[in-house]
Amino acid sequence: MILQDARDYQILFLSLFLILGIGTRDWTLRPDLILVVMLTCLVTQWIAVSIWPNFKQNLFNLLPLQENRLRESDSCLANPLSRSLSLRSAMITALSLSLLLRADSYTTMVIAGSLAILSKFLFQASHKHFFNPANFGIISALILTPDAWVSPGQWGDDWLYALLFAGTGGMVLKRVGRWDTTAAFLGSYALLEAIRNIWLGWTWDVYWHRLMSGSLLLFALFMITDPRSIPNARSSRIVWATCIAVLTFILRNQFFVSTAVFWALFALAPLSILLDFIWSAPRFSWLETLPNVFSTSGENELSDANPVNIPKHEF
Amino acid sequence: MKLFRILKTLLIAFIAIVCFAPNAWGFCGFYVAKADTKLYNKASQVVIARDGSRTVLTMANDFQGDIKDFAIVVPVPVVLQQEQVHVGDPKIIERLDGFSAPRLVEYFDSNPCEVARPRLLMQASPRAAQALGDRAEESALGVTVEERFTVGEYDILILSAKESNGLETWLKLNGYRIPQGANQLLKPYIRQNMKFFVAKVNLEEFEKAGYQFLRPLMMAYESSKFMLPIRLGMINSTSEQDLIVYVLSPKGQTEVTNYRTVKVPSDAEIPVFVKNEFGDFYKSMFQTAYGREGKKATFLEYAWDMGSCDPCSAEPLTPEELKKAGVFWLNSDQSSNVFITRLHVRYTRDKFPEDLMFQETSNRESFQGRYILRHPFTGEIKCEAGQQYKRSLPARLEKEAQTLAQLTGWNIQDIRKKTNVAQTQEAFFWRNIWP
């Protein structure tokens, strides 16, 4: 099963970046904070997956109409396969937080990690979470704690890293079929920056310096492409990614927010509900990328008639 | 069972991490020398005191030519009124420099036959030279003089312009000499709606006051732009320029957001002969680190709460001095809410195309450039432990030599030669009575 799931690749690559960053980029990462955030994410995920169905059922018992539908989904969550698979997602969130978020204290990391995971359970629209968990964790830490920050300059602007991110990101995107999002985001952001560069009269090295920022590329290839929280249909993903690019551009250049990309993604995440409503398309499931379990690929909806007991509501 | 295994793994991981966590007691030792900005021929120095969007910017001035030729054009985010501009005290920048400079500390090994008792000695003197200087000029039509005033020995204009040709022409017509190609570089600032702070020396005032040097210019403004325009300073220059930025802020470290911020190598044990050439050592070491980072990183040289230092290369600044450095948020009693970050940027046109952008973080981790000399024990050794100590010395000295070679790129043979010389000199017994 190892490396069958696109998430295994993601975990592998994010771990690689973490090691590279600590080893070659002079990061002041504290190993104890990394451990804390990983524990927090995994434990929160475990607990949430275990108790959420009961909690939800109790909640919906008050609303009898919904009951039948929920029973169905609850049985899926209790499935151990789903639980262990969902820990992978928690691991990805933990790795992303370790890569991006800096803090001075354990509490901040605990807040970031637990809220990141809980956001998947709390903010759902028709059984789909719409905040990117790591991004939600980062923004909550920035808002709620006094000692969190993000270092946008941490990767520098080396071609080598750009190639590394593009290569590894490409491998994951190919598996989950979300390259369109990255292309729309980077394309429209690059276009806007190009227009600004021409208008201001800067030389083109300024432009490339801005675009080659490792943090920007990492965001474009690994964060906004999370297939579980972004819109389902291709057209809506393109619209959505373009909106994020425009907002990022405005926040960065007009309001001088150094962490513009994260705020833009956070602010526009709820837009994906609306977009899913307008362009309906089957929801993404990680298991679709498992060739051993299914022969389905691309964006085909899992067949209800499939005899294997497939968790429909994994997080 | 499985749960037990997971717990066991976690416990092992936890222990590993606790053991590898950085040592909190890492900073100690005695200060002997510092590598301040006097090392560099032409280092600009800027102090930025910033809380939220309120900023007090101080630019040191080391202009070397005829005073009447001095002129400076700096893009500023807003129009400044007379009371927002001040002339600062050059001593303050020296104080900040001295307080935050990379430092050399030394230890003397105690008699291995006795219980440890550290001793210290000696101040090595810093070198000579200077600081500052942004220079640039421009001119035009469609230029508005927003403000015109005199502060201390400076005549100040705040200009806004519609287009760069106009600004260039205006400045030329008004007697400012402008470097070729300035026009191109002014445009982006005009388009970003920035104003131009233009200063030249009022000779009458200058002579009346009887100053020897030009004093630093300070400006106070409110803007969410936390940046330093470095492009204008590179108009005619392809060579490397040094800029030291001291950022004073209430929360914690400041970092550069559009370039990497890297710590200078620190806490290295190096041969004792470096004491006499600490300046050369630091220059070579910085150049090596700069090259290793592809010449495109900014370097953190110091980050500390202003309330303390360990070891101190200079006393912490008093609240009065901090106010003179632009710190405006001090409470009446203590200065503990001031954090200083010293960034050393060596920039060139090709590696630093964009102006420096900063952000304040809540990172309160202390950092200093600190280099350690350990003098071997030279007294008589009689015990078994002492013999062991003696046997272990050559390996330690060799390691120090290699560290030095690695940090500076100096030839290892030369270092070894010098290390031996230094060693024998220290070992002669008569030096104890006839130094």
CA distance A152 to chain B (A): 5
> Per residue in B371-401, is it b (16+ CB within 10 Å) or e — as a string?
bbbbbbbbeebeeeebeebeeeeeeebeebb
Give me the helix-helix angle, A80-100 and A106-122, nearest 10°: 130
Is the omega angle on the peptide bond into residue B311 within 30 degrees of 0, that is, cis?
yes
Q: Is any Cβ of chain B less than 8 angstroms from the Cβ of A205?
A: yes
Q: Which chain B residue is nearest to residue A148, measuring alpha carbons? A: B362
Q: In chain A, what are the domain boundaries? A: 6-151, 159-278
CA distance A244 to A242: 5
CA distance B344 to B282: 13
Q: Do A35 and B14 touch (CB under 8 A)?
A: yes
In the DSSP assignment, the letter for residue A223 is: I
Round the CA-based radius of gyration of chain B to a whole number and report it.
26
* Tens digit of each residue's pLDDT (9 = 90 or more) over A112-139: 999 999 999 888 877 788 999 999 999 9
Residue A269, burial from CB neighbour count under 10 angstroms (0-12, 13-18, 19+): buried
pLDDT at B60 (0 to 100):
85
- Tally of domains within chain B: 1
Q: For B274-323, give the secondary structure using H, E and C.
A: HHHHHHHHHHHHHHHHHHHCCCCEEEEEEEEECCCCCCCCCCCCCHHHHH
**Mean pLDDT value across chain B:** 80
Using DSSP, state whether A239 is helix, strand or coil. Answer: helix
Average pLDDT over residues B303-318: 86
pLDDT at B55 (0 to 100):
95
**Does residue B139 form part of some domain?**
no
CA distance B122 to A186: 58
* Tens digit of each residue's pLDDT (9 = 90 or more) over A226-274: 888 888 888 999 999 999 999 999 999 999 999 999 999 999 999 988 8
Q: pLDDT band at residue B7, thresholds of 50, 70 and 90? A: low
CA distance B303 to chain A (A): 13
Q: What are phi and psi of B115, to 5 degrees?
A: -75, 150
* Tens digit of each residue's pLDDT (9 = 90 or more) over A194-220: 999 999 999 899 999 999 999 999 999
Looking at the DSSP bridge assignments, the partners of residue B55 are B50, B221
CA distance B307 to chain A (A): 19
Q: Do B256 and A153 touch (CB under 8 A)?
A: yes
Q: Is any Cβ of chain B less than 8 angstroms from the Cβ of A105?
A: no
* CB-based contact A170:A158 (threshold 8 Å): no
CA distance B195 to B355: 16
* CB-based contact B312:B347 (threshold 8 Å): no
**Which residue intervals of chain A are DSSP H helices?**
6-24, 31-61, 67-77, 80-100, 106-122, 133-144, 159-176, 179-200, 204-211, 214-218, 234-254, 260-268, 271-278
* CB-based contact B46:B57 (threshold 8 Å): yes
* Tens digit of each residue's pLDDT (9 = 90 or more) over A6-60: 888 899 999 999 999 888 876 777 889 999 999 999 999 999 888 877 776 676 6
Using DSSP, state whether B342 is helix, strand or coil. Answer: strand
Give me the helix-helix angle, A31-61 and A106-122, nearest 10°: 30
- Which of B279, B350, B273, B6 lies closest to B125 in space, CA to CA? B279
Average pLDDT over residues B98-105: 90
* Tens digit of each residue's pLDDT (9 = 90 or more) over A274-286: 888 888 777 776 6
Using DSSP, state whether B409 is helix, strand or coil. Answer: coil
**Host H or E run for residue B255:** strand B254-256
pLDDT at A132 (0 to 100):
93
Amino acid in position B97 = D
* CB-based contact B406:B291 (threshold 8 Å): no
Query: Which domain, by its residues, includes B63?
Result: 26-67+85-133+211-428
Q: Do B17 and A199 touch (CB under 8 A)?
A: no
Q: Do B353 and A147 touch (CB under 8 A)?
A: no
In the DSSP assignment, the letter for residue A308 is: S
* Tens digit of each residue's pLDDT (9 = 90 or more) over A55-95: 766 766 665 544 444 444 444 444 555 666 678 889 999 99
Q: Which residues of A touch B362 (CB under 8 A)?
A: 103-104, 146-149
Lowest mean pLDDT among A14-28, B36-50, B57-71, B415-429: B415-429
CA distance B27 to B311: 8
Number of inter-chain CB pairs under 8 A, A vs B: 92
Q: Do A32 and B362 touch (CB under 8 A)?
A: no
* CB-based contact A142:A150 (threshold 8 Å): yes
Q: Do B361 and A155 touch (CB under 8 A)?
A: no
pLDDT at B333 (0 to 100):
63
pLDDT at A23 (0 to 100):
85
CA distance B239 to B352: 12
> Per residue in A168-203, is it b (16+ CB within 10 Å) or e — as a string?
bbeebbebbbbeebbebbbebbeebbeebbeebbbb
* Tens digit of each residue's pLDDT (9 = 90 or more) over B371-401: 999 888 888 878 888 888 888 888 899 999 9
Respond yes or no on whether ipTM tops 0.85: no
Q: Is any Cβ of chain B less than 8 angstroms from the Cβ of A291?
A: no
How many CA atoms lie less than 13 Å away from B161 in the CB half-sphere?
A: 27
Q: pLDDT band at residue B300, thresholds of 50, 70 and 90? A: very high
Strand pairing class (B297-305; B260-263): parallel
pLDDT at A133 (0 to 100):
94
pLDDT at A308 (0 to 100):
34
Is residue B169 pLDDT above 60, yes or no?
yes
What token pair was written down for B236? 């005619």
Q: Is any Cβ of chain B less than 8 angstroms from the Cβ of A82?
A: no
Lowest mean pLDDT among A34-48, A129-143, B155-169, B215-229: B155-169
CA distance A184 to chain B (A): 23
pLDDT at B201 (0 to 100):
85
Amino acid in position A54 = N
Smallest Cβ distance to B188: which of A151, A153, A200? A200
Is residue B334 pLDDT above 80, yes or no?
no
Q: Is any Cβ of chain B less than 8 angstroms from the Cβ of A25?
A: yes
Using DSSP, state whether A274 is helix, strand or coil. Answer: helix
Strand order in the sheet with B71-76: B71-76, B195-201, B154-161, B143-151
